[in-house]
Amino acid sequence: MWRNSFCCLLVFAACLLDSGCVRREPPADVTLINNAEPETLDPAILSGIPEFRIVMGNLFEGLTRLDPKTARPIPGLAQGWDISPDSCTYTFYLRTNLVWSTGEPLTADDIVWSWLRAASPATASDYAGEFFYLKNGEDFVTGKIKNPALVGVHAVDKFTVRVELTHPTPFFLDLCALPVMSVVPRQTIEKYGDRWLMAQPLPVSGPFELAYWRPNDKVRLKKNPLYWDAANTPSQLIDILPLGSPDTALNLYENGQVDIVLDRTLVPGELLDLLRKRPDFHPFNYLGTYFIRLNVTHKPFDDPRVRRALALAIDKELIVAKITRAGERPAATLVPPWTANYASPPGLGYDPALARTLLAEAGYPGGKGFPRFEYMFDAAAGGGSKIHQDIAIELQQMWRDNLGIQMDLRQVEWKVLLGSYSHLDYETARSSWIGDYNDANTFLDCFTSNNGNNRTGWKNTRYDALISEANGQTDLKKREQLFQQAETLLVHDEMPIIPIFYYAGLNYFDTNRIQGFFQNILDDHPLEYLRKANPKSKAQSSN
Amino acid sequence: MYFVRRLIFAIPLLLVISSLAFALVHLAPGGPFDRERAPASPEIERNLRAAYHLDEPVWKQYLRFFGLVWDRDADGRWHHAPASFNISYKYRSHRVSDIVGQALPVSMTLGVLAFGFAMCVGLPLGFITAARRGRWPDYAGSFLAILAVCVPGFVVGPLLILIFSIKLHWLPVALWESPAHMILPAIALGLFFSGKIARLFREGLLATVQSEFIAAARAKGLGENRLLLKHAVRIAILPVVSFSGPMLADLLTGSFVIENIFQIPGIGVFFINSALNSDYTVAVDLALLYAILLIVLNLMVDFSYTLLDPRVKYE
Amino acid sequence: MSESGNSGRAGSPLAAAKAENGAHGVTRPTYISPGRNAWQRFRRNRLAVLSAWYLAFLLLAIFAWPMVLKLSDATFAQAHNPDQLSDAQFSTPSAQHWFGTDLHGRDLFSRVLFGAQISLLVGVVGAGISLVIGVLWGAIAGYVGGRTDSILMRIVDVLYSLPTIIFVIVLITTLGEMLKQSHFVGSSPALAGVLRVTLLFVGLGAVSWLTMARIVRGQVLSLRSRAFVDASRALGAGPVRILARHIIPNIFGIVITYLALTMPAIILYESFLSYLGLGVQPPMASWGTLIAEGVGQINPIRIYWWLIAFPGGVLVTTLLALNFLGDGLRDAWDVKSK
């Protein structure tokens, strides 16, 4: 037995020696928690929110970037621009002192090359749809034309880029700030292909370079001294940790091991009513909506009266007060009311009596004869947030009590849920949409008949006509009216979707220690303004 | 010779395992490229699937996994396709070998530490409960050992964190940055196994004590404790040793629960996520890794039998 | 000295009888059947008996509770309906709700008892399936021997080397999908729900039979070379008859023991799957899902202790009881140990 203990001690010693191999590296100035491991940091390919947070405005920049307080587009790589009177031609003037972090000059050709690469079908970008606004953009993305020179973006000279659009697009400057339109290093990509992000050194155009990226461990950013605005970037090293479990996130934050918690899903739902009262809790209105998706090709959801009855029977106030508890607002429309250039029309409220009448009209008085149906939602693996399940449980009871119909819950993995959307393989499902840019179109466009993001089977030519007419308008007021008519059609008359609440975002950080971190509706936090005040107090608190 | 034969037999075994694992993950619904945003055009989706050869029949993808496929490119020339076992559908910028190279040492360190803890706690506990059988140390010790086996790991972890990190501030809460960070995860992981080892060792001791050669030793006049220590332990530890093989394989390939709770960049999280996300190649790679580890460890276990128990011989 | 030499065999009934009656006694030694002998030894193990009582009580509570609910008045039944949501979120244990309520205002006591149904069912059916497959596999391999044995055990080796979690995930998700297709073809949704839970049982049992097969094979190997089997064969009994009448009853004891020890492992595995989000689907609850929900209560800010203490406590106590019971059975059946 002593021999065994001795062997154990030996093993222990060996491990402690091995643990010396744990790298001793300088601690970061600021540590943030992101909510998932990024799949890629290639700005043309990425599509998830965790990836956005790391890349957008930090690693790679575009012609514009977003103001951290208002989320409006401000000059990025371009110092200014001219817009033609018909709003269809934009001329961008680049700054003349732009260089990559490795020292090569950055010119208009780089911009054009980056855009064409992102639009190319070979790259398979999820955001290639944003290039549809360019002249010939749609044809190029769908592969109908092969010559990239036909697409409406050209380098007029070394520092000027001209862009031609198919119709006036008031949010085009917002689009230019998206990662898909940011500039990427041509030489590196041509040399290394798919794995260009692992190249050392990696040329970047934004305020931070990629020090290293260890999967499921952390992404470390270090300051890019050659960035055009490097003088205003206070932090040297920033760590971004991927985390899945809200309880671990809370523990790390309380213990002082991390500084900022970025994502709403990383805050334990049950504690929200207490956490909301703390000074380090910073809520903000988020440009996103949580809704129920209905498969209108599937009986009985092909009848708008049934869909409207389902909507009228949901007590959304109860859901946001009892379950989500972060101060969300119940939603009667798809487009959040704080969207720019837009005032929401009224949608449907909570009216169980009217719901019962509608259901009776549709042929199911008191819910009799209404088939049992399934509501699909995704599961969180490993201690993640159970909010979709909790909302589903409440919905089940509401529909049963108010309408007398039986809904069955069906929990599936995230990938399976996405697959069901694409193949229209569901009856009702939970869903959400986060706006890409600050305009109503990002939401309403999804439900046109041929848009891939529709995924409900709902096709309405009047809706399509309203949307395309609105997008041809230069008069913002007229545009707003057309959108309002379209949205009324969507969430009041036809209801292929049932909006539940508008997202409320959360950031957790101590304002005494962290500065330069602002909340805006796009939850965009350019890290370049981030600064830790009183470095001494960090050393004291994070023992 | 026997061991060489076992090693040779392991190769077809690994092939069978890899094909089974490959077939299994391809059966699961949902593909790696189902996305929240619809592709802008069907052409794009086709391109993506074609780039990763997901449109090919499964058997061909299997051959491609091992690098046994030649492709014809646009000019009509044949060139050898790189083996796809090194490509992940989810982590497109990293090679699987990079990911495993970073994550496996972490899991292994954690696993070895947990193993050490389990042995250091389980063996003495098993010994005491066997030596004092029927009296209160046996009852108390057995109760503790069985208790350790009955509490789920995802409850033990947060409890330990709450007590030792948050209330007492002795240890850090999570992450993997210094030796101090390794203590709680190792304990949380090793606790379950320490209970099992204690029970197995106790059983082994009690069984061995009845056997004839112990009777012979007793007849020689040895005292009870020395008797147990010198003679019984060598044989009694055999069940523990044979359990160690699969136990170490499990420990070394990472525990999803512990790595998730303590946010440790190990391989357990990759494993489960690859199965849940249909990341075919990574799932099969890690299944093979587990199988290889298990085979090697079982061989070592069988070899140690010959050292411990002279009655055991292999032809 | 010969006494101590016989100490290893003091437990056998014949020796006891002999010691009782003395070497010169004429009286016939009383014969106690192995079963009865085991039962007597089991009864002496207080911990095991206590565990058996606890399990019996638990089973009683599980069966009685739904009837209590049905027979009681409307308010009581509604307050204690495990699926009934209410506005009384997170209320502490009180006379109204003995174990408190959860996020949705559901009564926790009721949920724990209904969850017990699922968990114990998972354990019993899963262990039962592993029993059936494992015993048949091991018995055939051990009895037939030779090449069949080799092949069957090689298959066990291969399956042993597969990490079970992949297999379980794929099994649950794939068959779940196939089930859904058939649902659209017309079977009732209630049936689909039941089938999904059954799938879970099957999956869990299917990954647990390997050890049972190995143990059974070992036992059968040692049994088949014993004299009474030879005698049976000499009398002309076929292999099936020998298996059924001689071998299987003799491994009964060891099988029951491992059954009692496999159940806790399966129940724990189900709780792990619930942690992953793959276990029993809502609104059905098992102890695993209750604990996976309640584990979030272990945090530094505010602890609704009842949400983890009661489900966790009941789970751990039941698993302890099963383990003690299994140990007690093993000690009772194993003639060699004191």
Measure Cα distances from C298 to B35, C294, C295 in Å: 34, 8, 6
- Closest residue in chain B to residue C271, using alpha carbons only: B152
Q: Do C86 and C101 meet the contact criterion of CB atoms below 8 Å apart?
A: yes
* A498: its two tokens: 């049932």
A248 CB near a chain C CB, below 8 Å?
no
Q: How far is A2 from chain B (nearest CA, A)?
A: 9
Which chains share 3+ C-beta pairs under 8 angstroms with B? A, C
Contacts 24+ apart (CB under 8 A), A215-220: A215/A37, A215/B91, A215/B94, A215/B99, A215/B102, A215/B103, A215/B265, A215/B270, A216/A37, A216/A242, A216/B103, A216/B265, A216/B269, A216/B270, A217/A241, A217/B102, A217/B176, A217/B265, A218/A242, A219/A34, A219/A38, A219/A41, A219/A54, A220/A28
Residue with tokens 């399976």: A416
Measure Cα distances from C211 to C214, C215, C217, C262, C275 in Å: 5, 6, 10, 10, 25
Q: Is the pLDDT of residue B12 over 70?
A: yes
Strands A30-34 vs A237-242: parallel, antiparallel or unpaired: parallel
pLDDT at C12: 45
Q: Which residue has the higher pLDDT, B222 or A266?
A: A266
pLDDT tens for each residue of B229-257 = 677 777 778 778 878 888 888 888 778 88
Cα gap A213→A210, rounded to integer Å? 7
pLDDT at C21: 46
Q: Which of C281, C293, C297 sits opposite A386 (nearest CB)?
A: C293
Asked whether the beta carbons of residue B36 and residue A217 sit closer than 8 angstroms, the reply is no
Those residues with Cβ within 8 angstroms of residue B258's Cβ, 6 or more apart along the chain or in another chain: B110, B153, B157, B185, B188, B189, B264, B268
pLDDT at B213: 63
Residue with tokens 């006379």: C95
* A529: its two tokens: 């303004």
Q: Which of A215, A413, A451 sits opposite B276 (nearest CB)?
A: A413
Asked whether the beta carbons of residue A268 and residue C276 sit closer than 8 angstroms, the reply is no
Q: Which regions in chain A score pLDDT beneath 50?
A: 1-2, 20, 536-543
Asked whether the beta carbons of residue C281 and residue A323 sit closer than 8 angstroms, the reply is no
pLDDT tens for each residue of A417-431 = 888 888 888 999 999
Mean pLDDT for B161-182 is 88
Sign of CA dihedral C287, C292, C298, C304: negative
Q: Which residue has the higher pLDDT, C14 or A170?
A: A170
Asked whether the beta carbons of residue A251 and residue C299 sit closer than 8 angstroms, the reply is yes
B85 CB near a chain A CB, below 8 Å?
no
Cα gap A183→A64, rounded to integer Å? 11
pLDDT at C19: 45
pLDDT at C161: 76
CA atoms within 13 A on the CB side of B78: 4
Closest to B142 measured CA to CA, from C199, C132, C327: C327
SS (H, E, C) chain C: CHHHHCHHHCCCHHHHHHHHHCCCCCCCCCCCCHHHHHHHHHHHCHHHHHHHHHHHHHHHHHHHHHHHHHHCCHHHHHHCCCCCCCCCCCCCCCCCCCCCECCCCCEHHHHHHHHHHHHHHHHHHHHHHHHHHHHHHHHHHHHHCHHHHHHHHHHHHHHHHCCHHHHHHHHHHHHHHHHHHHHHHCCCHHHHHHHHHHHHHHHHHHCCHHHHHHHHHHHHHHHHCCHHHHHHHHCCCCHHHHHHHHHHHHCHHHHHHHHHHHHHHHHHHHHHHHHHCCCCCCCCCCHHHHHHHHHHHCCCCCCCCHHHHHHHHHHHHHHHHHHHHHHHHHHHHCCCCC
Q: Which of B17, B143, B158 sits opposite C298 (nearest CB)?
A: B158
Mean pLDDT for B7-21 is 83
Please tell me whether residue A433 adopts helix, strand or coil conformation.
Answer: strand
pLDDT at C7: 37
Give the type of residue at A214: R
C291 CB near a chain B CB, below 8 Å?
yes
Residue with tokens 């207490």: A274
Using CA atoms of A306, A311, A314, A317 in order, give the dihedral in degrees to the nearest 10: -170
pLDDT at B86: 84
pLDDT at A108: 92
Cα gap B119→B195, rounded to integer Å? 10
Please tell me whether residue A505 adopts helix, strand or coil conformation.
Answer: strand
Cβ-Cβ contacts under 8 Å between A and B: the total is 190
pLDDT tens for each residue of C83-93 = 888 888 888 88
Torsion-angle region of B69 (φ positive above 0: left; ψ -120 to 50: alpha; else: beta): beta
Residues in chain A with CB shorter than 8 Å from the CB of C301 are: 250, 254, 271, 274-275
Strands A329-330 vs A497-508: parallel, antiparallel or unpaired: antiparallel
The single-letter DSSP state of residue A340 is T
Q: Which residues of B52-90 are buried (b: 16+ CB within 10 A; e: fewer)?
A: bbbeeeeeebbebbeeebeeeeeeeeeeeeeebbbbbbb
The C residues from 97 to 126 touching A (CB cutoff 8 Å) are 103-104
pLDDT tens for each residue of C107-146 = 999 999 999 988 888 888 888 888 888 888 888 888 787 8
- In sequence order, which ranges of A234-332 are alpha helices (DSSP H)? 246-254, 272-275, 304-312, 316-318
Please tell me whether residue A16 adopts helix, strand or coil conformation.
Answer: helix
Sign of CA dihedral B205, B208, B210, B213: negative
Asked whether the beta carbons of residue A394 and residue C104 sit closer than 8 angstroms, the reply is yes
Asked whether the beta carbons of residue C277 and residue A411 sit closer than 8 angstroms, the reply is yes
Q: How many CB atoms lie within 10 A of CB C171?
A: 22
Strand partners for A411: A377
* A216: its two tokens: 């499921």
- Closest residue in chain B to residue A126, using alpha carbons only: B39
C73 CB near a chain A CB, below 8 Å?
no
Cα gap B196→B126, rounded to integer Å? 9
Q: Which of C85, C101, C177, C194 to substitute to test the interface with A, most A CBs within 10 Å?
A: C85
Residue with tokens 């965790």: A50
Q: Which of C276, C280, C291 to substitute to test the interface with A, most A CBs within 10 Å?
A: C276
A447 CB near a chain B CB, below 8 Å?
no
Which chains share 3+ C-beta pairs under 8 angstroms with C? A, B
C188 CB near a chain B CB, below 8 Å?
no
Asked whether the beta carbons of residue B119 and residue A453 sit closer than 8 angstroms, the reply is no
Asked whether the beta carbons of residue A41 and residue B172 sit closer than 8 angstroms, the reply is no
A496 CB near a chain B CB, below 8 Å?
no
Closest to A56 measured CA to CA, from A165, A138, A175, A137: A175
Cα gap A56→A34, rounded to integer Å? 14
Cα gap A101→A187, rounded to integer Å? 13
Asked whether the beta carbons of residue A250 and residue C299 sit closer than 8 angstroms, the reply is yes
Closest to A506 measured CA to CA, from A174, A179, A238, A246: A246
C85 CB near a chain A CB, below 8 Å?
yes
Q: Do A38 and A54 meet the contact criterion of CB atoms below 8 Å apart?
A: yes
Asked whether the beta carbons of residue A271 and residue C277 sit closer than 8 angstroms, the reply is no
pLDDT at A299: 85
Q: How far is B56 from chain A (nearest CA, A)?
A: 18
Asked whether the beta carbons of residue B210 and residue C338 sit closer than 8 angstroms, the reply is yes
Q: Which of C166, C168, C291, C322 to substitute to test the interface with B, most B CBs within 10 Å?
A: C166
Which chains share 3+ C-beta pairs under 8 angstroms with A? B, C
Cα gap A352→A368, rounded to integer Å? 16
* C336: its two tokens: 């060699």
Asked whether the beta carbons of residue A268 and residue C89 sit closer than 8 angstroms, the reply is no
Q: How many CB atoms lie within 10 A of CB A393?
A: 20
The A residues from 66 to 105 touching B (CB cutoff 8 Å) are none
Task: Please compute Rg for chain C using Cα positions.
Answer: 25
The C residues from 172 to 201 touching A (CB cutoff 8 Å) are 173, 176-177, 188-190, 193
CA atoms within 13 A on the CB side of A272: 26
pLDDT at B221: 67
Q: How far is B72 from chain C (nearest CA, A)?
A: 34
Asked whether the beta carbons of residue B31 and residue A415 sit closer than 8 angstroms, the reply is yes
* B286: its two tokens: 């890690």
The percent of residues above 70 in pLDDT, for chain B, comes to 90
Q: How far is C84 from chain A (nearest CA, A)?
A: 8
| CA angle C231–C234–C236, rounded 5-degree value | 120
Asked whether the beta carbons of residue B48 and residue A124 sit closer than 8 angstroms, the reply is yes
* C161: its two tokens: 């080397």
Residues in chain A with CB shorter than 8 Å from the CB of C283 are: 393, 396, 409
Residues in chain C with CB shorter than 8 Å from the CB of A383 are: 275, 292, 295-296
A241 CB near a chain B CB, below 8 Å?
yes
pLDDT tens for each residue of A198-218 = 888 899 999 999 998 988 888
Most confident of A241-255, A296-310, B292-306, C217-231: A296-310
- Closest residue in chain A to residue C196, using alpha carbons only: A410
User: Phi first, then psi: what are they for A384, rounded to 5°?
Assistant: -75, 180
Asked whether the beta carbons of residue C296 and residue A383 sit closer than 8 angstroms, the reply is yes
